[in-house]
Every structure is written in structure tokens, then in C-alpha cells.
Structure 1
């Protein structure tokens, strides 16, 4: 079986990690808004007096007033490590699997299914790798000002001491359930859209497509994918803050769930179906921007490192 050379694999990992780092720094404020919205039980509407956050503009004003500008990058350090590790693992795994599928007749003849399968597997593997950093990031974003963890290293030690290793993997099953189809759809849609663009422009290589077009195709891919799997992401976030209620007293009603199914049923009972889509607007903006930057940057960086 043909495999990529070690040099090529290192270049793929470098391109994946660097594109992830650039994407994370750019989109972190949207991630903060998304997570704050996801963890709020009260309605996200201007008429809800009891709600801390009511809309994107109002939430931005409240966060800036109460916590300052840097609050929009709260949890950025673990998030950045998470993104680099996730991007490196995801793109490296995808490229190796994609090469294998090209040598498998059944998958070679079904490119959309092949891209979905490779992307889903790569996303699932990366999710397991970065789960501890994801839990720490979520809790640091969700905690009250001057409460909870002072930094990521202290958070890591505290979770290990009080909850055991299991605490670092809260919500990981739901994370894989959400990320696997999300990444599968991301890769499938992106490859499908770019292949369609190649045919329409009469060219044969993505290198010949403009950065603006790649950004647009990436944004469309991310928004389509995220809409499909969003409820799983919301449930994962809520499971990640179980046992952390004492450090987030100013965010409204506390969330206590026995597991993923109980969380789902509780949301449907207390917040109705729309509750599964809280934070959807900043999420779609973030997902579109993230996927656009991530995929287009990966393609461009891959072209650059290939020449090194």
C-alpha cells in the first residue's frame, strides 16, 4: 500500500497546525459568545428580564463592561493549544486515510462518501486527543470573574485532583458524536463545492482557485455542516460544566444533568426545541468564518510548504 513520505506528512501536520492557530485567534470572540449563549438556560431575547444575555450586541456590551476587552479571548491559551493539536491531528489523519481510499476501488468511485468517511474519522480522532483542553477552555470561558481557575495549568491539576482523569473527558462521547459527522460534512461539502468550482472554471487543481473563492466555499461548507449537528455541540458544552456550578453563580439557573439523554430531555422540557439551537447565530457566523479560514489557509499553506 502506498503511503505519504515522512517529509510530506510533517508538512501536512505543519500546515494543519498553523492554519488552525490563525483561525483560532481570529474567531475566538465568536466562540466566547457561542459558549456563553449555549450555557444560559434563560431565553435569548430582549423581553426576557431574567436573562443575562439577550442578543449578540447586548452580550458584547455586557462582557466588555463587566470583564473588559480581553474577556473575548478568555480561554484562548488552551483553545489555541486545542486548535493546533486538533488541526494537526485532523488534517494529518485525513490525508493518510484519503490516500488509502484512493487505493480502494469501492471508495475511490464514491468521492463524496469517501471524503465524509475520512473527515469523520479524522474529526473523531482529533476530538479524543484534545478533550482535556476543550473541557478546560469551556470552564474558563464559563466561570465568574475572579472565580474558578486562574490559569490552564491550575485548572488541569484541580480537575485531576477533585474529579480524576474522567473529569478531563466530560462530554467526550457527545463530542465525538457531534464532531465526527461535522468534520465529515465539512470535508465532503468543501471537496464537493471546490470540485464543482473547478468544473465550472474549467481548471483541474485547487491551486488555480482564488483565495476569495476558497474562503466562500469554506464558509458555505461550515455553515451547512454546523446546522446539521449543532444540538450535539450544545449538549456537549452543558455536560462539560457539570460539577463546576460554584464558580459560575452570576450566569442564571445552574445546569444539572445525569447524562446526555437527561440533558436532551431537560432542554426539550424546559427550553423547548428552540433551546437546542441557542447560540446558533454566532455559531453559524463563527463556523462559516472558521471553516473558510481553516480550509483555505490549509490549502494555501500546503502549497507553500510543498515548495520548501
Structure 2
């Protein structure tokens, strides 16, 4: 079976939903600390190399992945590295299920085009883009809640998940749950398109590498695909995070000097004017450190879970 045929043809719809949900659940728990560190660094606007910019800053100054982790543990305890994990776990489970289901459905639909069927790489890109867009739009409020909880310092902005939903609904209305959604869609469409295109291209070759035991060819392909795709769209990811913490609680997070941003284009222009091009890539290193294992764990777990579910169904039928 070729790479282009792989994810779309294996498993029933129910098996794909379950395997995608399991993959999202396990992946999220493993990379939660890196996700919190990434969000903190993305929201930090003062320069790491210019001490003058730190003057008058009300909040911590983070420098690097490990030092940020140590600072969070020291100031907020070990649980600080898992802030926002409940909405994030809910998001990853739903996202994984929707993503793999949409990917499978889109590629099967494209296969029905006959002579008009796009080339394998284009098919993977289109299917990945559709899958990412559907999953992001459906789970975006959970993504916003994850960001806001991760941005909280020792002083809690929201006391619980229920309280956060009620406060946002009361103070910001329904649009408050979708702050930055346009940046998220603009980011995820090319990201998931590039990711699945690269993954489908690399997986068949890496699956034959004897130096990669226990099916880790799936994981390795996921790592390469994720690093390439994440680097290409990272500025939009940073803008999404800045927009997600706008609103009446903007000055109450661990970084209390987050500027007021209005819209994707205006946000990018403001960042470029005040922080330069480097400002659009704050947190890229930890983002790659997070994205690589997250994609590796996701794809490896998905392949293993789908295989296990198929075997269980065969066993149950006999």
C-alpha cells in the first residue's frame, strides 16, 4: 500500500475516530509542560537580550526552555507545568478524532474523482488542510481556554473551567471564545497540508528502516513533517496566542504588559514595528521541541491504536 493510500483506507470510521481520540489524549499529556512553556514565551514581549526592556515589567522574565520550566516550578509548583491541561485534553481528544476522520473522508472523496483525481502529494495536502481546518474550527473554544489557563501565574484569573466559560460568556459574549480564530485557521490549513504531505511521503521509506525499532518509522516521519510545517507557519501561531488573551482579563496574566492587538494583520504589523522579525518567532525553539515529540507520539499512537482496534474487531467476529 502506498503512502498516499495509507491513512484513508485503513480502518472503519469508528476505528479511526477512536484511534484519533486515543492518540490526541496520550500526546497531549506527554507534551503539556512544553506547551505551557511555549505559551509563556510567545506572550512575552520584552527582549531577552536587552535588559533595558525588562525595566518596569510586572511579571517574570523567561529566558530559554529549561530556565522557564525551572521558574514555573519554583514560583507555581510542579502542577504549573500542566496548567490548562483539562481543556487541552478535551481539545486534543476531539481534535484527533475529527482530524483523522476528516482526513480519511476527504481523501476517499478525492479518490472518486477518477481521471480528475489530483496527484498523491496534492491529495495529501488538500486532505490535510481540510482536516486541520475542520478540527481547529470545531475545537477552537477549548484551545482558547487552554491558552488562558496556561497564561495564568500564581494569581488565578479563572478559578475553574466552569467559571472561565461563564466569565467569558458574560463579559465577552460568544465572539470571546473565538478570539484569534482567523489566525488559527490561516495557520493550520497550510500547516496540516504540509504535515500530511511530508508524512505520507516519508512514512513508506522510513517504515523499511531496520534501525528504527517498534514501528518508530511512523514517529520519525511525524517528527520531520512537524518540524518542517511548524517552522513555516509559526508567526501565525504566535499571533493566535496574543489574540487569545485579549479582552478584559488581558492585564491579569503572568505577563501583564501584553499589548492590545486587533486583528491578524494589525498584530503582525505591530510586532514587526516594535520587536522586529525576531518578535514573530518567540518560542519557536520550544515549539519545535514540543511539536516534534507531539507529532511523533500522535502518529505512532494512532497507527498502533488503529491496528489494535482492527485486531479486536476481527477477534470479536470470529
Q: TM-score, normalised by structure 1?
A: 0.91
SS at match of 2:12: helix
1:128 to 113, 130, 137: 137
Give yes or no for the alignment of 1:60 onto 2:65: no
Conserved? CA contact 1:231–1:276, under 8 Å = yes
Q: Distance in 1 between matches of 2:222 and 2:52?
A: 35
Distance 1:113 1:43 in 2: 40
Residue 178 of structure 1 corresponds to which residue in structure 2? 187
What displacement does 1:106 show?
A: 5.1
Alignment of 1:159-174 (within 5 A): 159-174=168-183
- Whether the 8 Å contact between 2:20 and 2:93 is mirrored in structure 1 is yes
Matched, 1:245 2:250: yes
Residue from 129, 133, 154 that aligns with 2:163: 154
Aligned partner of residue 18 in structure 1, secondary structure: helix
Moved more, 282-291 or 50-59: 50-59
- Verify the 8 A CA contact 1:127 1:176 in the aligned structure 2: yes
Task: Describe the superposition over 1:118-172 as per-residue Cα deviations: whole angstroms up to 9, x where unpaired.
Answer: 0100100111111111111111111232321011111011100110000001111
The answer on 1:110 being equivalent to 2:114 is: no
Which of 61, 69, 75 is 2:78 aligned to?
Answer: 69
SS at match of 1:211: coil
Task: Give unpaired runs (5+ residues) of structure 2.
Answer: 1-7, 55-59, 313-318
Structure 1 runs not aligned, ≥5 long: 203-207
Cα separation, partners in 2 of 1:280 and 1:107, compared to 1, 3 Å: farther
Q: How many residues align?
A: 297
Partners of 1:112 and 1:38 lie apart in 2 by: 32
The equivalent residue for 2:98 is 89
Superposed displacement of residue 253, structure 1:
2.1
- Cα distance in 2 between the residues matched to 1:189 and 1:120: 13
For residues 169 and 87 of structure 1, do their structure 2 counterparts lie closer, same or farther at Cα, with a shift above 3 Å needed?
Answer: same
Q: Which residue of 1 aligns with 2:271?
A: 267
1:38 corresponds to which residue? 42
Conservation of the 8 A alpha-carbon contact between 1:40 and 1:252: no
**Which residue of structure 1 lines up, in the alignment, with residue 236 of structure 2?**
232
Confirm or deny: 8 A CA contact 2:20 2:302 kept in the other structure.
yes
CA RMSD in angstroms comes to 2.2
